[in-house]
Structure 1
Amino acid sequence: MTAELLTYLVALGKSAFLVVGTLLPIINPPSTATIFLSLTEGASHATRWELARRIAGNVFLLMLGCTLVGSYVLDFFGISLDIVRVGGGLLVIQTGWRLLSAERSDSPRASRLAEAYTPDMVRSTAFYPLSFPITCGPGTLAATITVGVSLSDPSWTMALARTTGSVIGLGVVAAVILFCYRYAEKLLRPLGETGTIIFLRLSAFILLCLGIQIFWEGAGPLISAAVAVGNGR
């Protein structure tokens, strides 16, 4: 093995670990899996498996797109990351509040939901809100865009090695999401019915708080910039 090839392999591995280490804590699949259970209440195991597969695929493609061209798209439309955080934070807040204020469904209604969860519903909900913004929110997109910027290198071969490593890392992240969503119900089974309900409510509250935090992370700098402009006048 030549020293040059070893250098490329090291760069590939570093990029893969950078992606996994950066994105997994932000996405936090075990936590978002509980939100997935709340939003798919009444759905059959087969339906949840199909949704989990679609969500993992959607999130992978979203992160891949942001890694490769995210910064260029934002520059083209003149959109800042702070604006993305504000818009995404509002979406997360709305979803968290809806889950927190929802009433617990009884078994007959859950059965009707299972029957009503048609393939069209699976296709329509797999991306919004389950893939975005629940699983892959604005914080994840912002971090992914930042990682994508760090992959650039004057040498196209080194840039290719880093990009390949990032794609491998994104695949690992998507696989973890698929696993956590696929077995979310089994992971929560030891809590029992009452414990699961409490845990889902707490997760909804955390989601609401997370949305507020994301919103403020974008709104804070925008407000500061507006105040600075006003004082400059």
Structure 2
Amino acid sequence: MLQTLTLFFGNMLLVFGALMPILNPPGHAPIFLSMTANYNSEERTILARRVGIYSFVLLLVSMFIGSYVLEFFGVSLPIVRVGGGLLVATAGWRLMSASDEVYKTEEMVEINQNRPSNEELRQRAFYPLTFPITVGPGAITVAIALGAGFNGPGLQKFSMPLASLTAVAITSYSLYLCYRHAERLLKLLGTTGSIIFLRLSAFILLCIGIQIFWDGFSVLFGELLAQYLKL
């Protein structure tokens, strides 16, 4: 019994420790703010809850069947990084190019009566807030790699999936908590501070997208160069 519990908690810490630095809920909270600045408090709560749920599902799907899906379509992980990096960089560029009126204060948002429907909120919660902003190519790659441990010997074969399920649940809930309370920072900064802060977050998002793209492109270019040198 003790051996089983030790293996379970060891695997759970392994998955949690692998996912948390990449998902980085506190670090992604400012980006969440920059992309939801024109929503009110209730709508941000809905979005934060949806992002937590979608992140949980997306990570589990990546762990359990991600490698099979990529193999079925003939897509490599570097290609996933290139495509995901372009999506993240595009989202960052749109925020950088947006007018200052997009970054409204809470009072300005409440005055606007033309609010999005629940269906629109659900759609936006998945794209782009969950994928590729929160659960991007890096997190998916790690999840797929962790899923390879599901076929281990003995108790590992049963412990790893259960430990992964628990770790992903904890990680997803931490995402919800950080996103749910991110608006407090927006109120403390005020209108001018919010615009400056969210502009910087948009620039960081753009840089993250370029970095993800470059990581994938470097691998593909290296493979192409290696094949060329063999000719």
Provide the TM-score with structure 2 as the length reference. Answer: 0.91
Pairwise CA RMSD? 1.9
In structure 2, the partner of 1:70 is 66
Distance 1:182 1:92 in 2: 22
Amino acid at match of 1:149: A
In structure 2, the partner of 1:59 is 55
Return closer, same or farther for 1:114/1:83 CA change in 2, 3 Å cut-off: farther
Unaligned runs of 5+ in 2: none
In structure 2, the partner of 1:232 is 230
Matched, 1:165 2:132: no
User: What does 1:113-124 correspond to in 2, within 5 Å?
Assistant: 115-124=114-123
User: What does 1:20-99 correspond to in 2, within 5 Å?
Assistant: 20-99=16-95
Larger displacement relative to structure 2 (121-130 or 107-116): 107-116
Distance 2:186 2:6 in 1: 38
In structure 1, the partner of 2:202 is 204
Amino acid at match of 1:219: F
Instruction: Measure how far apart 1:9 and its partner are.
Output: 1.1
Q: Percent identity?
A: 44
Distance 1:23 1:228 in 2: 32
Matched, 1:180 2:184: no
Instruction: Measure how far apart 1:28 and its partner are.
Output: 1.4
In structure 2, the partner of 1:131 is 130
After superposition, the C-alpha distances for 1:127-157 in whole angstroms (9 at most, x for unaligned) are 10011001110111001111111333122x4
Pick one of 11, 15, 27 that aligns with 1:15: 11
Distance 1:97 1:115 in 2: 25
Instruction: Measure how far apart 1:112 and its partner are.
Output: 6.6
Q: How many residues get paired?
A: 228
Larger displacement relative to structure 2 (165-174 or 199-208): 199-208
Distance 1:125 1:30 in 2: 20
Instruction: Measure how far apart 1:191 and its partner are.
Output: 3.4
Instruction: Measure how far apart 1:111 and its partner are.
Output: 4.8
Instruction: Measure how far apart 1:41 and its partner are.
Output: 2.2
Q: Contact (CA 8 Å) 2:34, 2:198: kept in 1 or not?
A: yes
Distance 1:19 1:114 in 2: 43
Q: Contact (CA 8 Å) 1:42, 1:111: kept in 2 or not?
A: no
